[in-house]
């Protein structure tokens, strides 16, 4: 994925939605997974959570712990603007991270 280097969080949401649609992947944007929990995207039983900047690993891990405590959620993909350290699994469910700052290198066609 390539996205402009200084996006707003809404830009990242739009980019992810566009990428999912381009690959015919069904999703729900701003998916309510319980009465008090809403994930940025839900693809099947996997959430996609997007964070601008460099979020607090502790706060984000707490949020993911709550999401992944739901029986209906089987994993998470976390897209952050900047790299942070996250556990590879929370509640015995996989967590994959995509850091956009790692994708902003030199582009050669």
Instruction: Please state, in angstroms and as integers, the Cα–Cα distance from residue 13 to each residue in 20, 72, 106, following that order.
Output: 11, 23, 23
Q: What is the CATH architecture assignment of 9-103?
A: 3-Layer(aba) Sandwich (3.40)
DSSP 83: -
* Digit-coded pLDDT (tens) for 23-70: 999 999 999 998 889 999 999 999 999 998 888 999 999 999 999 999
pTM: predicted TM-score of the whole model, two decimal places:
0.84
* Digit-coded pLDDT (tens) for 9-31: 888 898 899 999 999 999 999 99
How do the domains of the chain map onto residue ranges? 9-103
């Amino acid at each position: 994925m390539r996205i402009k280097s200084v996006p707003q969080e809404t830009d990242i949401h739009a980019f992810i939605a566009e990428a999912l649609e381009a690959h015919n992947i069904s999703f729900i944007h701003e998916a309510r997974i319980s009465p008090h929990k809403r994930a940025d995207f839900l693809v099947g039983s996997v959430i996609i959570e997007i964070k601008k900047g460099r979020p607090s690993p502790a706060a984000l891990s707490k949020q993911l712990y709550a999401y992944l405590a739901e029986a209906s959620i089987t994993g998470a993909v976390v897209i952050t603007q900047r790299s942070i350290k996250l556990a590879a699994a929370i509640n015995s469910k996989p967590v994959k991270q995509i850091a956009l700052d790692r994708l902003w290198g030199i582009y050669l066609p």
